[in-house]
Structures are given as C-alpha cells and as structure tokens.
A = this chain, B = another copy of it.
Amino acid sequence: MQLFNYFRSSASYRVRIALALKGLNYDYVPVALVRNEQFKEPFSELSSARLVPLLKDGDKLLTQSLAIIEYLDETHPNPPLLPGDALARARIRALALDVACEIHPLNNLRVLRYLVHDLKVSEDDKNRWYRHWVEQGLDAVERQIATHSATGKFCHGDAPTLADCVLVPQIHNAHRLDCRLDHVPTVMRVFDACMRLDAFAKTQPSACPDAA
C-alpha cells in the first residue's frame, strides 16, 4: 500500500494511526499542501478530489480519512477499530464525526487562507476563529465522554478505536495553535493514554519523513 499524505494534515495522521494499529506496512508518499502539490501532477491525476490522504491499495484508490479507516477495518478486522454492537459503533462514529465534521473542517489550511486572502480577516481574528472552534468543539466531546459509562482508558473502552484516531490529531493541532485545553480533562487523559502507544507516537507529525 501507498499512503499519499502530508505530515501536518490531521486527516492524514488519522490514517497513519489506523495503519499502525493494524500493523500494516505502507510506503509514505509526501504531498506538500503548503506548496499546493495536491493540485499538480502526478498527484492530481490520482486524486479527483485533490485531497490528502489518499490510500492506494493495489489498483484501488481510496479517499476521505474516515472512509479509508472503515475500509481498513473491513479488510483487516484485527484489532477492530469499530468494536461492539450497532450502538457502540454508532457512539464511536459519532465521536469521530464530532471532530471530523464540527472542528477540523473549519480550521484546515484552505479555509484559513480564504479567511485571510479573500475575506481580509486579520491574523489575530483568524487565530481567534481557530481557537473558538477547537475549544468549543472539544468541550462538546468532553461532555460526551466525561461521565459516559462506555468511556474507558480510551474514548470507548480500553483499546483504541476510530474515535481516538480522529481525536488525537486534533489535539496536536490545538497544541500548535496554543488553544486552551484545561476545560477538557477527560479528552486530555485519553490523549495522554494514546500518546503512550507507538501507533500514535511514531506516526505523529514531528516524526514524519516530510516534517520540516
């Protein structure tokens, strides 16, 4: 398998974690979003969506990090990243989507660029925008995991799931932009537990081959 990705893309990091948890080997192919390589050949020929991550599995091309992780979980079921019954799986997916739909899309590179270049928002206001969605979004995650009986050492139970694969990269982003995190102690407890595992630590942005 080949993973086309970028060290600082949190959607890419989600898939790196999932591949590591499954123990799957892959070639790391960097696509420098900061130089707009996603819009240029050869990547643009592979990806009609022009987005990383993209997983090439034989002749199959897969996009969208959550869809890729579900695919990996269906084709390599152990260890399961969506364990349990339909209700458990719905809770895990909902926690992942609380980050993937409510926080991350507001703060990715192209959105921040549009705010600054097209809407002429100041650097200060751009950073305020960033922190607002991270802090508010993580607060919603905290409310859902702080007292829920299904929360364990990780977001759901005592082994990492899809929810942790999505949460951890968001915390790395939050650190990078100095977001407040003292209001989400359960989130941070889960983050610390994840970062003690090689699958999360060895795939983090700073450990990537294309890290600056």
Q: List residues of A whose CB falls within 8 A of some B CB.
A: 48-51, 60, 62-64, 66-68, 70-71, 74-75, 86-87, 89-91, 93-94, 97-98, 100-102, 104-106, 111, 114-115, 118-119, 121, 125, 128-129, 132, 140, 143-144
Contact = CB atoms under 8 A, between A and B. Distances in A.
Contact of A105 (B89, B101, B129): B101
Contacts of A63: 94
A106 to B, nearest CB: 6
A97 B48 contact: no
Contact of A129 (B51, B91, B100, B119): B119
A87 B105 contact: no
Contacts of A74: 86, 89
Contact of A62 (B64, B71, B90, B111): B90
A121 B71 CA distance: 40
Nearest to A102: B105
A90 B67 contact: yes
Contacts of A114: 129, 132
Contacts of A140: 48-51
A101 B100 contact: yes
29 contacts: A48-B140, A49-B143, A50-B140, A51-B140, A62-B87, A62-B90, A62-B94, A64-B93, A64-B97, A64-B98, A64-B101, A66-B93, A66-B97, A67-B90, A67-B93, A67-B94, A67-B97, A68-B90, A70-B89, A70-B90, A70-B93, A71-B90, A74-B86, A75-B86, A100-B101, A101-B104, A105-B105, A106-B111, A118-B128
A117 to B, nearest CB: 12
Given A70-B89, A86-B74, A114-B132, A49 B106 contact: no
Nearest to A87: B60
Nearest to A148: B48
Contacts of A51: 102, 140
A112 to B, nearest CB: 12
Contacts of A70: 89-90, 93
